[in-house]
Chain A
């Protein structure tokens, strides 16, 4: 098995290619929170593609878990549902308010040299570090 940093680089390239293809073909940002955050608004002509992105991501996750099973074992075995529920609420609320997450701000925004995305990324990383420091892994 390859060391994890080699997988990280190859995976990162695939992420960059996927985000690039979305920009090149559709002129849109591959930001998961941006795409999913408006699903519940049910705007005509603007909802189906968002739902299909989610479905594609789920299918891709299924396929990825067949290939890189060990990269999913911790989340599959994870059973601290209260912690996951609290995290989900905070992540949903925060990414909507802050207009983006790791993909939209962290990859696409920084790739476009957007000052907003750079500030957002530094902010969520800082608060992530502080949270782990206080509450532990």
Chain B
């Protein structure tokens, strides 16, 4: 039960952070990726402030090995740099460069009532579903 409530509230706060940061503006993201044009460093500032906050929390949680409301951690344990990681990230990077939108800002923008974001998100789910067929074990 707590997971449902926490997930909802975290979703709200996360989107507020994205909206505040300006990363919901595809022009800013494309400006960051356009290193040979008029470069926009905003995304770097976002990561440079988000990552250290998370680093501190991770050190604390890693030491405890137990979250506050759960019995164990659900963090990825894979270590190997496999083909799927590289190829998948490359495909994501291409899609990111095409429109300047990644999944978080896409969901936030659906809330901002953007038709384009709705189209993006529907296709995003289709793409994720299609990927499932390449990994049919």
Q: B-contacting residues of A (Cβ < 8 Å)?
A: 4-5, 7-30, 32-33, 35-37, 39-40, 48-50, 52-65, 67-68, 70-76, 78-81, 83-103, 105-116, 119-121, 123-133, 135, 137
Interface of A is mostly: helix
Report yes or no: B125 in contact with A19, Cβ–Cβ below 8 A: no
CB of A127, distance to nearest CB on chain B (Å): 3
Interface of B is mostly: helix
What residues on A are CB-neighbors of B42 within 8 Å? 4-5, 8
Q: A-contacting residues of B (Cβ < 8 Å)?
A: 2-28, 30-31, 33-37, 40-43, 45-58, 60-62, 66-70, 72-76, 78-81, 84-117, 119-132, 134-135
| Cross-interface CB contact of A20 among B41, B45, B54, cutoff 8 Å | B54
What residues on B are CB-neighbors of A62 within 8 Å? 111-113
Residue of A nearest to B21 (CB): A11
Report yes or no: A101 in contact with B61, Cβ–Cβ below 8 A: no
| Cross-interface CB contact of B73 among A27, A78, A110, A130, cutoff 8 Å | A27
Known contacts A60-B12, A64-B19; 15 additional CB pairs below 8 A are A8-B43, A11-B18, A12-B21, A15-B46, A35-B7, A61-B15, A64-B108, A67-B19, A83-B98, A86-B123, A91-B102, A105-B89, A112-B54, A112-B55, A123-B90
